[in-house]
């Protein structure tokens, strides 16, 4: 039997010589760019996805990824035409791969706990077909302890192999962002956590074929921790900014001035308050981190930050209510135009949209609303027409289209002139001079 050390050496040489084959399980907005980048680096890639329509489009060299992803469609077409990227719904094709990436979704459920259903299925399917000497790498963001606690046992049970003797395992969490998939994959550093130091080294050799930033080598749990911690950290930072904004609304300060001057203090980097925290990462990853110590460590800050950020859409609704009262408009008689549904400016991604949370509150209150978003198919259209007859405007996303609103023209279309600014897109004095009743997150100087 070939010694594990030799197996890894052969694998590393195959990467360097570009003779190795990589399997990628999950061809979504992370897996597909990864498959294309490795194929573009000269490696042979076999992509597997359960979605036959997606596989069909990829086989035709057509990207199934929505939104503007610079370079992706061209790269996909190129590597498919060159025969370096094959796509299939059959996991059996992975038998030919020396390296297999798992890039499937890892959501948390309503109880904030992960079930890892897709991950478990992928691990079992891979275990059934993977060849001896394979290196399996989990790119999905998982709770610390998942790769060795969930993936390893499933791989061993399905293959009959033993870790670090017959196969190798690692975690290299993705760090992509919609709109910058290829650029992030190339320019953002990666953490390679392997089941042995030699495994981490082989992983680093692989990722250095596509990553121009630093590629760090460590153990598996550290890699799992880094990804979930970096996003929990960001969530706490945003929550702090949101809480200070609410303090400003009572003390009569302007959060943006406070933040500007605070950040002049050495080592301070206060983030931005806003109308809420959406997306596929920040609302989820803190819960993945917390789930790894559920019942063992009594966490206070991380859950509290989630609660603060999740409460911002309700805060926007409360600001709206206060402004309606000042304008003597009954909420149940009001008609509100909500500007922005995507979770982030200049994006069509609506996952965990804070606006949806606001709509749920307005539905409970019986407040009628219309939605506008130039990036979201269902809500595109002429802004003035969408606003016509409304009593209030609520800005939820800092899309470029909302940065220079013609308030005089908008005012002429509206029944009442109320403006709620969730993303600091309008100077309050400008709104007031145009005849608007104004409320803004953190703009205490304008909250009577
Ligand atoms: N947000 C604020 N205030 C801020 C920053 C963001 O309210 O100061 C809100 C945004 O409006 C949005 C949500 O938080 O609703 C998330 O925004 P984000 O800028 O964090 O963007 P994401 O969710 O795409 O975050 C991803 C993360 N990357 C990965 O998980 C691989 C995050 O770690 C990155 O910092 C971020 O991209 C980025 O800036 O690239």
pLDDT digits (tens, 9 = 90+) for 291-341: 999 999 999 999 999 999 999 999 999 999 999 999 999 999 999 999 999
- Ligand 1 pocket (Cβ < 6 Å) reads 175-177, 230-231, 234, 238, 271-272, 274, 277-279, 281-282, 343-344
Distance CA 333, CA 211 (A): 56
Task: Give the tens place of pLDDT for each residue, 282-292.
Answer: 999 999 999 99
Nearest CA to ligand 1 atom 8: 272
Residue 2 pLDDT grade (very low, low, confident, very high; cuts 50, 70, 90): confident
pLDDT over 90 at 178, yes or no? no
**pLDDT given for residue 263 in this prediction:** 98
pLDDT over 90 at 448, yes or no? no
By most ligand atoms within 8 Å of CB, the mutation choice from 255, 276, 282, 395 for ligand 1 is 282
Question: 418 C-alpha vs ligand 1 centroid, how far in Å?
Answer: 29
Task: Give the tens place of pLDDT for each residue, 193-229.
Answer: 999 999 999 999 999 999 999 999 999 999 999 999 9
Distance CA 16, CA 334 (A): 65
Ligand 1: nearest atom to the Cα of 345: 11
Residue 76 pLDDT grade (very low, low, confident, very high; cuts 50, 70, 90): very high
Task: Give the tens place of pLDDT for each residue, 350-392.
Answer: 999 999 999 999 999 999 999 999 999 999 999 999 999 999 9
Residue 273 pLDDT grade (very low, low, confident, very high; cuts 50, 70, 90): very high
**pLDDT given for residue 374 in this prediction:** 97
- Region 433-447 average pLDDT: 94
Task: Give the tens place of pLDDT for each residue, 54-66.
Answer: 999 999 999 998 7
By most ligand atoms within 8 Å of CB, the mutation choice from 281, 286, 396 for ligand 1 is 281
**pLDDT given for residue 132 in this prediction:** 96
pLDDT over 90 at 68, yes or no? no
pLDDT over 90 at 156, yes or no? yes
Ligand 1: nearest atom to the Cα of 178: 24
Task: Give the tens place of pLDDT for each residue, 115-136.
Answer: 999 999 999 999 999 999 999 9
- Region 418-444 average pLDDT: 97
Residue 179 pLDDT grade (very low, low, confident, very high; cuts 50, 70, 90): confident
Question: 343 C-alpha vs ligand 1 centroid, how far in Å?
Answer: 9
């Amino acid at each position: 039997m070939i010694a594990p050390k030799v197996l890894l050496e052969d694998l590393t040489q195959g990467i360097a010589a570009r003779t190795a084959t990589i399997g990628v399980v999950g061809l979504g907005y992370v897996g597909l760019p990864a498959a294309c980048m490795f194929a573009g680096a000269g490696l042979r890639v076999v992509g597997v996805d359960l979605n036959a329509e997606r596989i069909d489009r990829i086989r035709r060299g057509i990207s199934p990824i929505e939104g503007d992803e610079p370079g992706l469609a061209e790269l996909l077409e190129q590597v498919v035409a060159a025969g370096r990227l094959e796509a299939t719904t059959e996991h059996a094709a992975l038998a030919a791969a020396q390296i297999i990436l798992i890039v499937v979704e890892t959501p948390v459920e309503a109880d904030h706990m992960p079930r890892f259903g897709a991950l478990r299925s992928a691990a079992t399917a891979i275990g059934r077909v993977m060849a001896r000497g394979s290196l399996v790498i989990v790119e999905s963001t998982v709770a610390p302890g998942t790769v060795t606690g969930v993936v390893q046992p499933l791989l061993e049970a399905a293959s009959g192999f033993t870790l670090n003797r017959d196969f190798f395992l690692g975690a290299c969490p993705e760090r992509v962002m919609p709109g910058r998939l290829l650029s992030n994959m190339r320019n953002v550093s990666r953490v390679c956590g392997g089941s042995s130091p030699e495994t981490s080294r082989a992983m680093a050799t692989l990722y250095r074929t596509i990553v121009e930033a630093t590629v760090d080598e460590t153990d598996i749990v550290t890699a799992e921790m880094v990804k979930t911690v970096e996003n929990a950290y960001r969530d706490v930072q945003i929550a702090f900014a949101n809480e200070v904004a609410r303090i400003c609304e009572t003390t009569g300060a302007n959060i943006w001035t406070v933040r500007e001057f605070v950040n002049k203090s050495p080592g301070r980097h206060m983030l931005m308050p806003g109308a809420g925290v959406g997306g596929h990462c920040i609302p989820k990853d803190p819960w993945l981190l917390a789930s790894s110590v559920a019942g063992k460590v009594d966490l206070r800050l991380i859950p509290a930050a989630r609660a603060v950020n999740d409460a911002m859409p309700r805060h926007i609704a409360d600001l709206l209510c206060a402004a309606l009262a000042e304008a003597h408009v009954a909420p149940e008689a009001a008609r509100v135009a909500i500007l922005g549904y995507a979770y982030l400016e200049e994006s069509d991604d609506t996952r965990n949209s804070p606006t949806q949370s606001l709509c749920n509150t307005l539905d409970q209150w019986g407040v009628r609303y219309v939605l506008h978003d130039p990036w979201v198919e269902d809500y595109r259209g002429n802004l003035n027409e969408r606003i016509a007859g409304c009593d209030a405007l609520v800005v939820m996303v800092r899309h470029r289209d909302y940065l220079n609103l013609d308030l005089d023209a908008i005012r002429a279309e509206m029944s009442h002139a109320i403006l709620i600014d969730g993303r600091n897109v309008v100077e309050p004095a400008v709104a007031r001079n145009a005849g608007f009743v104004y409320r803004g997150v953190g703009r205490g100087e304008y909250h009577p």
